[in-house]
Amino acid sequence: MFELPVLQWSTKIRTGNGQWVAEGVATAGLVLVILRTASGKAASVIAFYIGAAYCFTASTSFANPAAAFGRMLSDTFAGIAPECVPAFVVAQGVGAALGVGMDWMLKAESRKRV
């Protein structure tokens, strides 16, 4: 469609505190959306969240190590240079832990009110 090779190594450098914080925020939000959404609506809510996070984060919301590794193989705007992926995966791990922690806190708060 774009007349590009199917597989290519990305040269798009994505690094720095702003990118890593954005990636942590995107991942924390994704985990929270997954854990807090009713199972019948999860697919559409997750899709809407990722679409929005692509726009509101500086990192374009990879929010998943599989997406980061996949986007290494695309030398387009959405790509990521292979040497930048490890820091993104670390930021995603921190974000995932924060998302689980927020879910746990929200559940604890709702149990207090009962």
Q: What interhelical angle do 17-36 and 85-113 show, nearest 10? A: 40
Q: Are 59 and 92 contacting, i.e. CB atoms less than 8 angstroms apart?
A: no
- This prediction has a pTM of 0.89
C-alpha distances in angstroms, 77 versus 11, 39, 70, 80, 87?
Answer: 10, 33, 13, 8, 19
Q: Is 33 helix (H, G, I), strand (E, B) or coil?
A: helix
pLDDT in tens, 7-48: 899 999 999 999 999 999 999 999 999 999 988 888 999 999
Q: What interhelical angle do 17-36 and 42-56 show, nearest 10? A: 160
pLDDT in tens, 86-113: 999 999 999 999 999 999 999 998 888 7
- Candidates 62, 56, 100; CA nearest to 79 is 62
